[in-house]
Amino acid sequence: MIRNPILPGFNPDPSICRVGDEYFIATSTFEWFPGVQIHRSTDLVNWDLACRPLSRASQLDMRGNPDSCGVWAPCLSYADGLFWLVYTDVKRLDGNFKDAHNYIVTAPAIEGPWSDPVYVNSSGFDPSLFHDEDGRKWFVNMQWNHRGRSLGGQPKSPAFDGILLQEWHPEHGLIGPVRNIFAGSPLGLVEGPHLFKRNGWYYLTTAEGGTGYGHAVTMARARQIEGPYEMHPQTHLITSKDHPDAPLQRAGHGQIVETPKGEVYHTHLCSRPLPGRFSPLGRETAIQKCVWGDDDWLYLEHGGTVPALDVPAPASASPRPVGSVRRVFDGPDLPPEFQWLRTPCPERLFTLGQDGLVLHGRESIGSWFEQALIARRQEHLQYRAETELADFDPETYQQAAGLATYYNRHKFHFAAVTWDETLGRCLTIMSCPGDWPNAALHWPCDPVVLAPGPVWLAVKVSRSVQQFFWHQGGDWQALGPALDAAVISDEGGRGEHGSFTGAFVGMLAFDITGQGRSARFRNFDYLPKADRV
C-alpha cells in the first residue's frame, strides 16, 4: 500500500510526471532556496529528493520577497528528450497585486544541468506546460484580476479570473491568441491548471476553493484544447471540504499520472491538522488511485471524493521505516534536507568544512533579504532536534546564535546564545507567537548565565507543545516554559489564507551590528517519532 502523505512536511502543489519506470514530483518551495523540490520514485511508495534545480542567481533571486512569496506551483514535464520545469516567482502577497513572473528551464537529466530561465509572462501564477501529440506546446496559467473595487459601476471582479491558454514555441515564445478557457465551478478561486489527453479528450484538472479547508481538485474536459470545457459529473474529483473529520484535510491541487501498465493516479496537496485546526507540517503531498469510468471521466477508485490515507500501490513495495537523521558537519556540502531563505548567495550566510558549519551573522530573524538560518522541514508531528553550538562569543545583545523553530518572521521560537550588559554571555528565548503583522518579540524566560565553551541545544516538539533544552556538559535541562508549537503552523498568526509554507527547525545566527560575527555548529540530529495523524 501507499501510505499518505508520500512527501511529509512542507511539500505543496505537487506536479507529477513519469519517464520510463521512474516518477518525479515537483513541489513549491516559496521563499526557501534553492527553489523547487523534485523527488524521485520507482514504486510511488518511497520517494527520495532528486534535486532542487533553481540553484543560482540567474534562475532565482528572492531577496526582498515577502513571506509566502517566491516559487509557487511549479509544473514538471518530459518531452523531446528534456525535462521542462515551469515556475512562478511571486514578488508580492498583500494587497490587490501579485506581480507573478513565469519562467521555463530545461535539463537533459533530472540532476541537470538546468538551463537559465526563459521568461514567459506575468498574467497570473500556477503556470503549466502541455506537450500535445502533434508536437505543439501550450502554456496555461490562472489569470489574476487586481480590480478589487467596482469599476465604472460594474460589479466587483473576482481576483481568480479564469484559466488562460496560449501556444508556446521554444524559439519564439508565446504565439497566437490568448484564450480564457475555463472560469471554474461555483466554488471559485480557480487555479493550478494541468492538461492531460486521453481518448480524444483534453482533461483540465484545476485547484479551487483556496488552499484552506475548502480546497478541491476540480475537473473539466473538452474535445478541442481551446474548449468549450464541460464540468465533471461530481464537479470535484478530490476534496475534504464537506468532511471536517477526514484525516487528510485541505485536499486539492494536483495532477494525473499513468503507470506503464495504464493504472492511473492523481496527486494532491493535503494537511494533517492538529485539534483546533493547526497544521505545523504545512501542506503535504498525497496521491490517490483512480479509475476511468465508462463515461470517460476519472473517479477515485475507492469512491466518493474524500482522499484516503492508504491506497493500493502499482506493485508490491513496503514503506521505509521512520528513522533518525544524524548530520555531522565535517565536509564541503550542506546535507540535502537543509535550505536557507531567499538569497542565491549562500557564501554570505554560511561556510562548511572539517571544523563544522559556520553561520555568518547577518540581518535579524525575519529579514526578507539576508538571514543566516539553515533549517530543515518538520516532517513529523512529534520529534526532537539537537545541535552543538561549538563556538560563539557575542560581544553585544545585537548578536545571537542558536536553535530555532521557524515558520516566518512573525511565527518562530528561538533558543539564543547572546550577551547581556549585566550577565555577559547568556542563553535566552526570543519568541514571536503569531504576532502578525507587527512581529513583536516576546521573552518567555529569564536569561541563563553560561560558562565559556560549547553549548548543546535541543527542542522537543509533541504535536502542539514544544520545549527547549540545554546543557554544557552535564544533564539536559529545560530552558524556559513549554511553548505553543501550534502557532508555528499555516493557521497560526494571520491564518491559513496568508501562510503557505510549513514549520522548519534549524540553526540561526544574526548580527545586526553589521560585523558578521560567526557561530560554529558541529552537528544536527533530527529524531522523529512515528505519528501519522
CATH value at residue 499: 2.60.120.200
Q: Are residues 408 and 299 in the same domain?
A: no
Task: Identify which of 295, 242, 246, 292 has the alpha carbon closest to the alpha carbon of residue 271.
Answer: 246
Q: Are residues 507 and 406 in the same domain?
A: yes
Express as a percent the part of the chain with pLDDT over 90.
93
Q: Are residues 241 and 270 in the same domain?
A: yes
Q: Can you read off the three cell numbers belonging to residue 274?
A: 492538529
370 part of the active site: yes
Q: In 10 A of CB 456, how many CB atoms?
A: 19
Q: Are residues 22 and 99 in the same domain?
A: yes
- Tell me the CATH number at 129: 2.115.10.20
Whether residue 318 lies inside any domain: the answer is no
The contacts found for 34-39 with CB under 8 angstroms, 24 or more apart, are 34/60, 34/339, 35/59, 35/60, 35/62, 35/70, 35/71, 35/87, 36/71, 36/74, 36/85, 36/87, 37/11, 38/76, 38/110, 39/7, 39/11
**Chosen domain end from 248, 280, 311:** 311
Residues 508, 360 contacting (CB under 8 angstroms): no
The residue range of the domain holding 368 is: 325-529
Residues 519, 437 contacting (CB under 8 angstroms): no
pLDDT tens, residue by residue, 134-171: 999 999 999 999 986 545 555 566 899 999 999 999 99
Say what the pLDDT of residue 233 is: 98
Rounded CA-CA distance 371/365 in Å is 6
**How many separate domains does the chain show?**
2
Q: Are residues 41 and 72 in the same domain?
A: yes
Rounded CA-CA distance 334/327 in Å is 10
Separate counts of helices (H) and strands (E) for the chain: 0, 39
Give exposure, 407-430, as e/b (b: 16+ Cβ within 10 Å). bbbbbbbbbbbbbeeeeebbbbbb
Q: Are residues 393 and 290 in the same domain?
A: no
Whether residue 319 lies inside any domain: the answer is no
Q: Are residues 23 and 122 in the same domain?
A: yes
pLDDT tens, residue by residue, 199-226: 999 999 999 999 999 999 999 999 999 9
Q: Are residues 290 and 343 in the same domain?
A: no
Whether residue 466 lies inside any domain: the answer is yes
Q: Which position among 31, 167, 208, 370 bears the catalytic label? A: 370
Rounded CA-CA distance 98/66 in Å is 11
**Chosen domain end from 311, 335, 358:** 311
Q: Are residues 287 and 346 in the same domain?
A: no
Largest CA distance in the chain: 77
Rounded CA-CA distance 357/111 in Å is 25
Q: Are residues 343 and 288 in the same domain?
A: no
pLDDT tens sequence for the chain (533 residues): 999 999 999 999 999 999 999 999 999 999 999 999 999 999 999 999 999 999 999 999 999 999 999 999 999 999 999 999 999 999 999 989 999 999 999 999 999 999 999 999 999 999 999 999 999 999 999 999 998 654 555 556 689 999 999 999 999 999 999 999 999 999 999 999 999 999 999 999 999 999 999 999 999 999 999 999 999 999 999 999 999 999 999 999 999 999 999 999 999 999 999 999 999 999 999 999 999 999 999 999 999 999 999 999 999 888 999 899 999 999 999 999 999 999 999 999 999 999 999 999 999 999 999 999 999 999 999 999 999 999 999 999 999 999 999 999 999 999 999 999 999 999 999 999 999 888 999 999 999 999 999 999 999 999 999 999 999 999 999 999 999 999 999 999 887 667 899 999 999 999 999 999 999 999 999 999 976 55
Q: Are residues 116 and 251 in the same domain?
A: yes
Q: What global pTM score does this model have?
A: 0.97
Of the CA atoms within 13 Å of residue 124, those in its CB half-sphere come to 26
Rounded CA-CA distance 292/229 in Å is 18
Say what the pLDDT of residue 495 is: 74
Residues 271, 249 contacting (CB under 8 angstroms): yes
Q: Are residues 117 and 169 in the same domain?
A: yes
Residue 496 has phi, psi (to 5 degrees) of -65, -30
